[in-house]
């Protein structure tokens, strides 16, 4: 028995050596791959750059985090930003379309909040230019947090002593700091801290050992097959709008969902969506603007067919998925530490349905 | 103008001195108060004692925390334990009755999960003996997390690689550790870490300076008026069941809500509920089993009238509320650190409505 095992082991080692040799023959030149990658991608900075009218400060980030986690920003009092952009699940809710006020379903899959500030615009159709603009939307959307108007948001916050103090700290030179613009500014400041450095960033910074052989092969395919023509930049996406179904229609497309056309009213923008960031994408299922595809492998296959007109082999898909998984990063610990929220007062307008 | 201000200030100081003198005359003997308090209350231990069949371990607590924050324990995939027992708001959701599956409303106000393991039983009617029993309820309740049966819970978890590994670590000697009993055991183990030491505990341990004069007066009233006859023990409540409306009916009582009668079918248990813990009570509004009362002052007033047959003065209510607020404790930091949840696999049963 022992003898047989040793023999089997020797055989394995032999095969291993042969395989090792084969791999060595096909081995990617790390330096070349890195240089090629640098043409498409950049490593994450520590924080997302802030606009000049909303510089990121510690106080603003702290307030923004409180607001992000506070369900009192919704009419019902139970839905917070984190309900649909759950940081415990990489900034998404893991459902096709979010369940908002009275369990109404949203029209689009909730995109991850992680690294979102790197995008050229917010929402799938890019209707908000900045994180600040975006933050104001869901709070007032009747199928999401369903606040009837900004006044109720402000009334809730102004009757919570703890918040009044936090707004004063975050916006120290303002006479009346508790206002809807500042709610959005604080949330945006918090969101600018949500960057997720990964092994892929180590690679981009020059440590070619940070990726496995398979991941490197995936990265090579990702660039050579054409994926990186759209999914590029610091967020591996988010830099442009593109038609979904360039070569072949997307099989699940709802023809009533016109995408960016709703913003521009430009015929050419029908079925055009923002190219999503692929950072952490293996964690941000289900996929696409409608959340119809759950398996990352199917998503990659569909992208090849609809956008590039190619049929990727199972092996190629495997490798590309391995590369994508290497972008799974570390969510900042501070962001995951839930704040203890300041209590309402008897004057605070009550939650209602 | 300046002269007048200075005169007004002098007058205030004079009144202040007189008030100070009066207070000094009534000054409570700290030692006597502490001894009296020790007859009713005990300071919080570091952790809630565990039953012999579910000893608390680090691995179990870690798994339990993941499950506590995981919305995949609900059919819809968006409701977690933390949705209704939100640790950011002292273990409650701040609404009359929770909003569960399809925004259906629960029958009772969600009690805080903090310090809950000290109670003689769980739920307002005490229908669950232990935290383990309790944890199994909401997951399967059609108006709460709405899982059709434990099998779906287990199917979800067994298809999540990360969970299988965590269950193995938490229950190392079991052949098939991913089962519904262990889900409940892990959640209960996590909940046994949810103790909230406060200034009142410092006082009970002998530091009589930990409470302000007003809080001490409130504590004295709390004991002398009779509140502590029911709200006592380590959790300042949770040690017994009592009729709500001993002397006078509770003004908002829904006569169809029979309380503990539903468990015992004993006539005498109609409108009987578990006496809630008053730790952190100024943060766990709205009050009572139905969540009908939002103002802690009104709640204290009602308790005096319905349970003790006394009308507390505004000043007495003030002081009692000040004492109650001194029990607002520190939520364990580890519990507030949201875990990053392991990803679903394509085999994981999908969320649905």
pLDDT at A27: 78
Q: What is the CATH number of the domain that holds A267?
A: 1.10.760.10
Does some domain include residue B103? yes
Does some domain include residue B2? no
Tell me, yes or no, if A109 comes closer than 8 A to chain B by beta carbon: no
The one catalytic residue among B96, B132, B144, B217: B144
- Shared domain for A140 and A224, answered yes or no, is no
- Shared domain for B69 and B153, answered yes or no, is yes
Q: End of a domain among B171, B195, B219? A: B195
Q: How confident is the model at residue A214 (pLDDT cuts 50, 70, 90)?
A: very high
Does some domain include residue B208? yes
pLDDT at A220: 98
Tell me, yes or no, if A131 comes closer than 8 A to chain B by beta carbon: no
Give the number of other CB atoms < 10 A from CB of residue A313.
12
- Shared domain for B116 and B166, answered yes or no, is yes
- Shared domain for A70 and A181, answered yes or no, is yes
Asked if the model's pLDDT at residue B346 lies above 70, the reply is yes
pLDDT tens digits along B290-316: 999 999 999 999 999 999 999 999 999
pLDDT tens digits along A111-161: 999 999 999 999 999 999 999 999 999 999 999 999 999 999 999 999 999
Least CB-CB distance to B337: which of A95, A297, A337? A337
pLDDT at A26: 60
CB pairs under 8 A between A and B: 101
Domain with A207, as residue range(s), is: 37-45+197-325
* Mean pLDDT, rounded, of chain A: 93
Chain B residues with CB inside 8 Å of A331's CB? 340
Give me B344's structure tokens: 């679903």
The rounded Cα B155 to chain-centroid distance in angstroms is 31
Does some domain include residue B67? yes
- Shared domain for A189 and A270, answered yes or no, is no
pLDDT at A87: 98
**Distances in Å between the alpha carbon of B341 and those of A66, A305, A333, B72?**
21, 32, 14, 10
Q: Is residue B36 helix, strand or coil?
A: helix
Q: Between chains, do A285 and B69 touch, taking CB under 8 Å as contact?
A: no
Give me B342's structure tokens: 């392991």
Query: What is the average pLDDT across B209-232?
Result: 98
CA distance B3 to A22: 96
What are φ and ψ of residue A316, in 5° steps?
Answer: -65, -40
Q: Between chains, do A94 and B76 touch, taking CB under 8 Å as contact?
A: no
What are φ and ψ of residue A93, in 5° steps?
Answer: -110, -5
Tell me, yes or no, if A98 comes closer than 8 A to chain B by beta carbon: yes
Contact A326, A199 (CB under 8 A): yes
Q: How confident is the model at residue B2 (pLDDT cuts 50, 70, 90)?
A: very low
Asked if the model's pLDDT at residue A75 lies above 60, the reply is yes
Give the number of other CB atoms < 10 A from CB of residue A349.
15
Tell me, yes or no, if A262 comes closer than 8 A to chain B by beta carbon: no
What are φ and ψ of residue A215, in 5° steps?
Answer: -65, -40
Chain A: residue whose CA lies nearest to B297: A346
Per-state percent for chain A, helix, strand, coil, to nearest 5: 50, 5, 50
- Bridge partners of B122, per DSSP, are B128
How many structural domains is chain A composed of?
Answer: 2
- Shared domain for A189 and A207, answered yes or no, is no
pLDDT tens digits along B114-142: 999 999 999 999 999 999 999 999 999 99
Show the beta-strand stretches assigned E in B246-350: 272-274
Contact B306, B299 (CB under 8 A): no
User: What percent of chain B is modeled with pLDDT above 90?
Assistant: 92
Q: Is A236 left (phi over 0), alpha (psi -120 to 50) or beta?
A: left
Query: Is-catalytic flag, A144?
Result: yes
* Mean pLDDT, rounded, of chain B: 93
Does some domain include residue B341? no
Q: Between chains, do A88 and B341 touch, taking CB under 8 Å as contact?
A: yes
pLDDT tens digits along A259-316: 999 999 999 999 999 999 999 999 999 999 999 999 999 999 999 999 999 999 999 9
Local structure of residue A248 (DSSP, 8 states): S
Asked if the model's pLDDT at residue A21 lies above 90, the reply is no
pTM here is 0.92
Element (H, E) at A242: strand A241-243
- Shared domain for B314 and B214, answered yes or no, is yes
- Shared domain for A178 and A249, answered yes or no, is no
Residue of B66, B81, B89, B283 for testing the chain A interface, max A β-carbons within 10 Å: B89
Tell me, yes or no, if A78 comes closer than 8 A to chain B by beta carbon: yes
Q: How confident is the model at residue B321 (pLDDT cuts 50, 70, 90)?
A: very high
Does some domain include residue A347? no
- Shared domain for A171 and A282, answered yes or no, is no
Q: Which residues contact B202 (CB under 8 A, 6 or more apart)?
A: B210
Does some domain include residue B165? yes
CA distance A82 to A69: 6
DSSP A161-204: HHHHHHHHHHSTT-SS--SHHHHHHHHHHHHTT-----HHHHHH
Element (H, E) at A273: strand A272-274
Q: End of a domain among B138, B169, B195? A: B195
Is A230 annotated to bind ligand? Answer: yes
Chain A: residue whose CA lies nearest to B351: A95
In chain B, residues 302-341 whose CB comes closer than 8 Å to chain A: 331, 333, 336-341
pLDDT tens digits along B13-53: 334 344 444 444 467 999 999 999 999 999 999 999 999 99
- Shared domain for B64 and B166, answered yes or no, is yes
Q: Between chains, do A344 and B295 touch, taking CB under 8 Å as contact?
A: no
Compute the nearest-CA separation of A102 from chain B (Å).
Answer: 5
Chain A: residue whose CA lies nearest to B91: A340
As a residue count, chain A comes to: 353
Q: End of a domain among B195, B227, B246? A: B195
- Shared domain for A123 and A235, answered yes or no, is no
CA distance A51 to A133: 12
Least CB-CB distance to A94: which of B87, B283, B344? B344
Contact B150, B180 (CB under 8 A): yes
**Cα dihedral B4, B8, B10, B11 sign:** positive
pLDDT tens digits along A38-59: 999 999 999 999 999 999 999 9
Q: Which residues of B are annotated as a binding site for heme c?
A: 81, 84-85, 101, 227, 230-231, 303
- Shared domain for B301 and B220, answered yes or no, is yes
Does some domain include residue B211? yes
The ipTM, to two decimals, is 0.92
Compute the nearest-CA separation of B29 from chain A (Å).
Answer: 33
């Amino acid at each position: 028995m022992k003898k047989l095992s040793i023999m089997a082991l020797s055989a394995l080692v032999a095969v291993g050596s042969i395989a090792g040799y084969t791999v060595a023959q096909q081995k990617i030149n790390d330096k070349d791959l890195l240089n090629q990658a640098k043409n498409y991608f950049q490593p994450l900075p520590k924080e997302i750059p802030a606009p000049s009218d909303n510089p990121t400060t510690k106080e603003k980030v702290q307030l923004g985090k409180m607001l992000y986690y506070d369900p009192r920003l919704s009419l019902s009092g139970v839905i917070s930003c984190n309900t649909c952009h759950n940081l415990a699940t990489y900034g998404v809710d893991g459902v096709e379309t979010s369940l908002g006020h009275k369990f109404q379903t949203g029209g689009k899959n909730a995109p991850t909040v992680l690294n979102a500030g790197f995008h050229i615009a917010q929402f799938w159709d890019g209707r908000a230019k900045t994180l600040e603009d975006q933050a104001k939307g869901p709070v007032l959307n009747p199928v999401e947090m369903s606040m009837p108007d900004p006044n109720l948001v402000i009334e809730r916050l102004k009757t919570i002593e703890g918040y009044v103090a936090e707004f004063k700290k975050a916006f120290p030179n303002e006479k009346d700091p508790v206002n809807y613009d500042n709610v959005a500014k604080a949330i945006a400041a918090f969101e600018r801290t949500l960057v997720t450095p990964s092994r892929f960033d180590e690679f981009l910074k020059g440590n070619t050992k940070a990726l496995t052989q398979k991941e490197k092969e995936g990265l090579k395919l990702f660039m050579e097959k054409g994926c990186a023509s759209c999914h590029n930049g610091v967020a591996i996406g988010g830099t442009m709008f593109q038609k979904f179904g360039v070569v072949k229609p997307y099989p699940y497309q709802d023809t009533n969902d016109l995408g960016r056309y709703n913003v521009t009213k430009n015929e050419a923008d029908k079925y055009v969506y923002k190219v999503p960031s692929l950072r952490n994408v293996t964690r941000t299922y289900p996929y696409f603007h409608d959340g119809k595809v759950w398996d990352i492998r199917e998503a990659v296959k569909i992208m090849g067919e609809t956008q590039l007109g190619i049929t990727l082999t199972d092996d190629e898909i495997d490798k590309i998925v391995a590369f994508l998984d290497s972008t799974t990063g570390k969510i900042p610990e501070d962001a995951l530490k839930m704040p203890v929220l300041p209590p309402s007062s008897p004057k605070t307008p009550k939650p209602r349905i």
